[in-house]
Amino acid sequence: MKAIRIHEFGGTEVLRYEDVPDPQPRKDQVLVRVKTCAMNHLDIWVRKGLPGVKLPHILGSDVAGEIAEVGEYITQFKVGQRVLLAPMHFCNRCAKCVAGLQNQCPEFTVLGNGVDGGNCELIAVPAERIIPIPDSIDFIQAASVPLVFLTAWHMLVGRAGIRPGQTVLVLGANSGVGIAGIQVAKFFNCQVITTAGDDHKMSKARELGADHVINHYQQKISDEVRKITNKQGVDIVLEHVGPATWDESIRSLKPAGTLVTCGATTGPQVSIDLRFVYSRQLSVFGSYMGTMGELHEVLKYVFTGRLKPVVDRTFPLKEARAAHEYMERSQMFGKIILIP
């Protein structure tokens, strides 16, 4: 089969479109013919170098396709079935997995990070990570959903305990997590404030349901939040940017507010004034992906149209270098899809 692999870490020049052996599924696995694979910023970080990545390596976390072969032990799926993959790897036998807390499994990693991903034509995975998709969702839409909607759902529902009527600040409206976060917050009838960097992205954010949009290049986020909320601040900040927005995110919280973070796009190091945290009784939560139960829950609302995937553009898999360059310019609003 053809695949995009990296044999070393670095810029887009390390992405190689090459022949690799077809995967040989075990008796408890399903072989999926990849139709689409969505990109995430994780692809860029892995390409540049992350601990634990074994080379050569195939990128790609969000996969949709057709079942090409089922293992001898598999009875619930059939060849030709349209499916998406849970974008994660876990052991499915430890105490955390048995308790339904897969994202706390000692072996947990994201597909395309600690294990090979979906930037290829065929992928073999255990049956528990296979999810059928309805006819109402095409392969491009299906690949746009799993990682970002699971991440946003776990952040807001699983970690921050979102409640109807709250006010939520979602950083980076044009990002995959931002797009999902806006929709999940509106699903709970919350007031949503978000940020974007130009008029086009601000307009798109309003179309998604954002009540207020702040231009983070021209306006100070916390000042605008105070104006919008009549100086009260927000109940929840969905943060995934890191040092570029961290201080503004903390300042935007109301007393007893919650900041939940899942990433560090602009770097891993931030500072925090503990006096401000304890005197205002703030909560700061980390969030990493989510559980299989949460994935099935959020997909219910995607499959019925309550939550909607947003696609920016597609690239042939062999043009992965151009896709990476496009993502690094941050021009997109929505997901970038690679098509084998």
Q: Kindly list the averaged pLDDT for each block of 10 residues, start to end, along the chain of length 340.
A: 98 98 96 98 96 96 98 96 98 97 97 98 97 97 98 98 98 95 98 95 96 96 98 97 95 98 92 94 98 98 97 98 96 95
Q: For 115, which DSSP code?
A: B
Q: Which two tokens stand for residue 150?
A: 């699971």
Least Cα distance to 246 among 265, 231, 227 occurs for 265
* Pairing status of strand 130-132 against strand 167-170: unpaired
Pair 78, 68: CB distance under 8 Å? no
Compute, in degrees rounded to 10, the torsion defined by CA atoms 260, 152, 109, 144. -150
For the chain, the C-alpha Rg in angstroms (whole number) is: 20
In which residue are the tokens 């997901």 written? 335
The Cα–Cα gap between 312 and 225 comes to 28
What pTM did the predictor assign?
Answer: 0.96
> Quick one: pLDDT at residue 265?
87
Neighbours of 253 (CB within 10 A): 25
Respond yes or no on whether the N-terminal peptide bond of residue 340 is cis (omega within 30° of 0): no
**Where does residue 259 rank: exposed (0-12), middle (13-18), buried (19+ CB within 10 A)?**
buried
Q: For 318, which DSSP code?
A: G
> Quick one: pLDDT at residue 133?
98
> Quick one: pLDDT at residue 330?
87
> What is the set of domains in the chain, with CATH numbers?
2-145+309-339 (3.90.180.10), 149-286 (3.90.180.10)
